[in-house]
Amino acid sequence: MTVTATSVGESDQLEPRVAPEARAWARRLRRLFPAAAAALSGLLLYVSFPPRTLWWLALPAFAIFGWVLRGRGWKAGLGLGYLFGLGFLLPLLVWTGVEVGPGPWLALVAIEAVFVALVGAGVTAVSKLPGWPVWAAALWIAGEAARARVPFEGFPWGKIAFGQADGVFLPLAALGGTPVLGFAVVLCGFGLYEVVRLAVETRRTGTVRRAAAAVGLLSLAVPVVAAVAARPLVSDKAEDGSVNVGVVQGNVPRAGLDFNSQRRAVLDYHARETERLAAEVKAGKVARPDFVLWPENSSDIDPFANPDARAVIDTAAKAVGVPISVGGVVERDGKLYNEQILWDPAKGPVDTYDKRQIQPFGEYLPFRSLIGAINSNWTQMQRQDFSRGTKPGVFTMDGAKVGLVTCYEAAFDWTVRSEVTDGAQMISVPSNNATFDRSEMTYQQLAMSRVRAVEHSRTVAVPVTSGVSAIIMPDGEITQKTGMFVADSLVQKVPLRSSQTPATQLGILPEIAFVLVAAGGLGWAVGAGMRGRRASDV
């Protein structure tokens, strides 16, 4: 057949042609895809956190993160890690701006995401090493360790362990605390990606890399097997008898920062709810508690300086007839303290605990003069900084030793452990979440307390001004809880325990071990890179 010039021209017109602009857009989209995947995998990690019970989503989140990072340069890892951090922390910490606007929330996230970015850069380096999921998971825990210490004494909110209160890995908290629990989850996620990657590679090439496949499978299997093996460490059996604990949630007049202007009303609400509880006990409707726990800020009026406040608390204690742990704001020697006060119905105040891990920008203002120059409203809201306590707080209440961990302190490993090593047979986490309205903050903090219960094998009571108050057994199960912004009380018989879990005994050692592993992996990766460059130069 003869092809004419005309037929050739017509054939050319039928062939698809891609415009240069379209090809350029396609290249841009391909370059943007890893960035979008990093941000979306961070969002997936957020969705795995409470109040949702989708803990298992942390595994595909880290699998995608591993896929995005593996084999890239450190600069790309830095940027992709930052996007992962933003995707995770922006929605997780949105509650920090509920009452003060988006400025502090965005600033906090921008700073915290830097730690995730550095981890991302590190993961790109170790991803070229044999057994890279182990090195990468250790790097994540090292990043959490740094974030829990700097800046301003650290901000450990968002530890991977705190998203696992409903998960199969939870028993690992009793083995090595939040670092071991978090490491297992991250390792499993990176291992999931490695298994999928090697399966695709094997199907394409027909060759099985046995050593790499073994690492991937072990990264998936070992955390699950370890969690099952750690299950016997979790127990809710009484070792030192049992007590009836009472938890009072008095509620507040209104949500938000404005509740602070209603300090007397908050105190009256808690006294009234305690007296209502006493009436139910007298009527035989509720078992008599051995002691009662009030929340943080239940008496923002200093009862040592204000006779009216003292009388209100004293009347409530006498009505219920048992000791009360009262959350007060106390001024002593010109210093302000967030204090728990042990109030005896016959003797009045007999012991105190001053909060040690106080919240920056909430209980004290770093760079106060600079912040005042930017926005004077912030300095007016926090006119005087709180001072730190120096000693653990363990109240002896009707013979039971109750460790005090005030609100924000529950996020820090050391504050909870110190109470247990000081003899606490159960733990109270008095909190005030009214500032954060109905946000997810309450549920995130409640999950922390569940992890702490398993970590140290202790009953944890959580009295909150506005909810959610709860009683948590040593196995992490919530047996009773209140609603939000209602007045209510809980009474339950709970076990007292004095044995120490491996996590309690080991303390900071697992975290140190992961930091050393991460440093070793980075050192190996940097050394291998330098040797490779020297070889190429030759």
DSSP characters for 130-190?
A: TTHHHHHHHHHHHHHHHHTTTTTT---TT-GGGG-TTSTTTTHHHHHHHHHHHHHHHHHHH
Alpha-carbon dihedral angle through residues 343, 346, 350, 354, given to the nearest 10 degrees: 10
Q: How confident is the model at residue 536 (pLDDT cuts 50, 70, 90)?
A: low
Note the pLDDT of residue 368.
75
364 pLDDT band, cuts 50/70/90, is: confident
365 — pLDDT class (breaks 50, 70, 90): confident
Which of the two residues, 371 and 35, has the higher pLDDT score?
A: 35
Q: Residue ranges of the alpha helices (H) in 206-355?
A: 210-229, 263-282, 307-320
Place of tokens 């004290």: 364
Per-residue pLDDT at 12: 47
- Of 347, 346, 344, 313, the C-alpha closest to 330 is 313
**Average pLDDT estimate for 376-383:** 68
- What's the pLDDT at 22? 67
Residue with tokens 């073994």: 214
pLDDT reported for residue 32: 86
Consecutive H or E run containing 293: strand 291-293
**3-class DSSP assignment, residue 537:** helix
Among 384, 385, 402, residue whose Cα is nearest residue 393: 402
Least confident of 14-23, 47-56, 176-185, 218-227: 14-23
pLDDT in tens, 207-256: 888 888 999 999 999 999 999 999 999 999 999 999 999 999 999 986 54
Residues catalogued as catalytic: 296, 355, 407
Q: How confident is the prediction for the chain on average, in pLDDT?
A: 91
Report, as an integer, the average pLDDT of 93-103.
85
pLDDT tops 90 at residue 286: yes
* pLDDT confidence of residue 369: 72
Q: What is the pLDDT of residues 173-193, one digit of tens each?
A: 999 999 999 999 999 999 999
Distance CA 142, CA 513 (A): 9
pLDDT at 376: 67
Q: Compute the average pLDDT of residues 295-317.
A: 95
